[in-house]
Every structure is written in C-alpha cells, then in structure tokens.
Amino acid sequence: MREWIVVVPVKGATGKSRLEHPDRAELARAIALDTIEAVSRAERVAEVVVVTSDAHVAAEVEGWRDDVSTGFARSTTTVPVRVIPDPGAGLNAAIAAGIAAADATRPRAVLLGDLPALDPRDLDAALDAAASRPRSMVPDAEGTGTTLVTARPGVKLEPAFGDGSAARHRVAGFAELHVPAASTLRRDVDTADQLRAAAGLGLGPRTSALR
C-alpha cells in the first residue's frame, strides 16, 4: 500500500566536501538523483518531497514527470516527486521545510539523499517495520549517524541529523529498527571508502557512470 511521504534533503553540487573526486559536484548530484529514484520506486511510498537549492537536481527531478525517454520513465512503479526550495539554514532546517510541506495525516519519513546503492525493497522493509511505531530510526553502517527517521500520522517529527545523530535520536525517543548491517538503507556515502563500500552493494546508474 502506498501511504508514506518521504522527505529527501539534497545539497547537490555543494555537498560531499569529503568525497575526493575529479568531478565532485556532478558525483554529488548523481548520488542524490539515484537515491531519489530508488525512493520513488519503493512500493510503500506515495510521494517524495525533495528539498534542494540545486537547480540542476530540481530541473532533472521535475523533468521526470514529462520525459519518458529517460531511464526514469513514468510507470506504475513510480510516484509523484515534488521539489521545494531549501531555506538555506542547514540540513535540519531543510528537513523541517520538507516536513512542513508533507501531509501530517499520513505517515512521514526523512531519508538522507546520499544512498546511491539504495534498494527500494530495503526501504519498503523498514517502512513496514516502522508502521507499528510512533517514531523510529535507522542508524548508518557505522552506527553513529542516521539515514532514516519516521513518524506515524499525527506524531510530531523533529529529526536531529548531523554528527552523532543516532544517539540523539535514541534519546529523543526514536525506536531503532532492526535493519541488517549490510542493508543498502544503511550505506550512506560521505567518503571515498564509503563509496567503494556502496559499490559493493550495487550503485545506481548515474553514480556508477561517474565512479
């Protein structure tokens, strides 16, 4: 059942400062776009809200609605992807803007836009588990950060992303979902080593082309 609204904050070309690459800006965009595409293909997702100030990311995502010649053709497995502007006050402010734009009568989730190996089935499994919990979270592969937070309808959602966010989310009452350590949902990418680890899981097409 498609019921979840997923907010994806994206820095785009200005992100991934620790990721050494000859074309870091394009790689950062590719990672974000592969993540957004994977989210929209999850069977439990009804809408994706992308929060970004990157004009290239916004233009491509908005173009998916009309351009069936891309690899992201509109089909029965895709859902609406809406873009709203990043207010420019940091990650959590961008996330807050996305949450404010989401329908609070539906279950909501926030997923970081740096999961280029994301398998939609892994996201579906986590959302299934989250459906029975007021608020929940998934730590990253290292166990210190967070890749996903969720809230049931009507439950306030105030994430605290950033360094050490997993501990902050636990203290704030987010229940940790039991997601396997090797899940693609836990493999975010900030460094070259993490990109190599993600490649072992299978990168999305845009990221793979630039790696």
CATH code, domain carrying 140 = 3.90.550.10
DSSP 3-state of 167: helix
| Under 8 Å between Cβ of 187 and 3 | no
Confidence of residue 211 (pLDDT cuts 50, 70, 90): confident
Q: How many domains does one find in the chain?
A: 1
> Within 10 A of 123 (CB to CB), how many other CB atoms are there?
29
Identify which has the larger pLDDT, 73 or 161: 161
Burial class (CB in 10 A: 0-12, 13-18, 19+), 200: exposed
Confidence of residue 11 (pLDDT cuts 50, 70, 90): confident
Q: Is the pLDDT of residue 168 over 60?
A: yes
Domain that holds residue 154: 4-210
pTM listed for this prediction = 0.91
Q: What is the pLDDT of residue 95?
A: 96
How far apart are the C-alpha atoms of 116 and 197, rounded to whole Å?
Answer: 11
Reading the block at residue 139, the tokens are 């730590």
H helix runs in the chain, sequence order: 24-40, 55-63, 91-100, 120-130, 165-171, 192-199, 205-210
